[in-house]
Structure 1
Amino acid sequence: MLQRLQARDVVVESSPVLQVHGEETNITAVELQDGRRIPLDAIFAVATMTPHDSYLQHLRLERNETPMGSFLAVDQMFRTSHPRIWAAGNVVNPGANVPLSISSGNFAGAAANAALTEQEFDRAVASSQQRT
């Protein structure tokens, strides 16, 4: 990515920005941690997407490495690599806003319910076969 930007004469500064100078929407410069002050009239900043899923780390669930970060891998039913864990929203999709997270959470809940219902039916069938 860096090579592509540089090929288009885009300057990428890796030193953290300490202060943005200017008034209101009129940006005039940034002061960098390394002491340089760079005049400019626009800034493009990239956030690092970090899902708050560290409490699941010990489960060693599969992850998808994306250009936007590392997120839980799920199938079309939002099931993770663990057969009894479903995940939805922005822990699986870095671009998920609130409505999309609500929708995928609703679908994941329905999928989990269906899996539990299927498990109950399987147990009932096994129990009835033992009685005969």
Structure 2
Amino acid sequence: MKDSYDVVIVGGGAAGLGGALALTRARRSVVVIDGGAPRNAPAEHMHNYLGREGTAPRDLLAIGREEVAGYGGEIVDGQVVEATRTDDGFRVRTAAGSEVSARMLLVTTGLVDELPDVPGVGARWGRDVLHCPYCHGWEVRDAAIGVIATSPVATHQVLMWRQWTNDLILFTHTAPDFSSEDLEKFAASGIEIVDGRVAGVEATGDRLTGVSVEGRGVIARDALVVPPRFVARSALLESLGVETAVQEMGDAVIGSYVPAGPTGETSVPGVWVAGNVTNPRAQVISAAAGGVDAGAMINAALIEQDVAARVAERRMSRLG
């Protein structure tokens, strides 16, 4: 890395690379520092990305890196562990001890899916243990699907997944009692209810075969839906004084996120965010678009700084 850049981007997923592409094409000096832990790494393919439907996530990142590098952007593999404000912007330090300055920061560190404590769920996450029907519903359409209920959010989730299959079981697991209205909706939709705590996930080879329920044995299923907690990777942002908030759905807390303006500006001037760190619902294409929006607005903010500096310089020269 050089000593300083117009923008340091922390996180090299779709949002970070989208921002880098917009900024490098605007002739800004940019370095992307990426920790190499994309949220969608377990998934074999990504979906709903117009023009790249079914592309492997790692392939999209490779394409994006090549495009950013083609416009002069730099990509560095590393973990950012500290960011501090300076008179001219920010100073960023990596785990390897490298330091670099930036006029602006774009943080696209994403989120972590915190999974229920059910044996076998983590090992199959992103393959046949799922949460988003828009990401994976088509691939398991008409299959025997189970939904593990861990909160009242399960009502929304199981009714949504009903769109993709008629063979649906709701495992009550640790969720509170459902209302009579919810139970009526389940019955009208042909959704079976199985009471009892889920003890684990059964698999044969590389294929999920069933769900083990305490006192009920193994119930055959082809795929399983679990509701993770969406926890923003916000430690770096919090160290700079950026505000965070809890993500709610109805009366349930489902995670955390970093509030931001419509183009990614945070509560701290000069610090911007894009992607899942600020929008837990963002899919790959919308995360990339959020990065592009943030990149364009960061360039606009830098232009204001540049013009102000030129005006000040002109006034000083005229006084001289």
In structure 1, the residue matched to 2:244 is 63
Deviation at 1:106, TM superposition (A): 1.1
Aligned pair count reads 125
Gaps of 5+ in 1: none
- Percent of aligned positions with the same letter in both sequences? 27
Deviations 1:44-80 (A, max 9, x none): 5211112223232311211232224211111122111
In structure 1, the residue matched to 2:293 is 107
Shift in CA distance, 57/20, structure 1 to aligned 2, threshold 3 Å:
same
Distance 1:113 1:126 in 2: 20
Q: Residues 1-132 of structure 1 correspond to what in structure 2 (within 5 A)?
A: 2=152, 6-7=178-179, 8-9=182-183, 17-21=198-202, 27=210, 29-31=211-213, 36-38=214-216, 44-67=225-248, 68-130=254-316, 131-132=318-319
Contact 2:257 2:279 in 1 (8 A): yes
Paired amino acid for 1:81 = S
Contact 2:201 2:208 in 1 (8 A): no
Q: TM-score, normalised by structure 1?
A: 0.73
Paired amino acid for 1:88 = A
Q: Which has the higher strand share?
A: 2
Distance 2:209 2:263 in 1: 47
Gaps of 5+ in 2: 1-150, 156-177, 184-192, 249-253
The higher radius of gyration belongs to 1
Q: TM-score, normalised by structure 2?
A: 0.34
Deviations 1:20-60 (A, max 9, x none): 24876663x424xxxx3445567652111122232323112
Shift in CA distance, 128/18, structure 1 to aligned 2, threshold 3 Å:
same
Distance 2:300 2:215 in 1: 59
Asked which structure has the greater RCO (Cα within 8 Å, sep 6+), the reply is 2
Q: Which has the higher helix share?
A: 1
Distance 2:260 2:284 in 1: 19
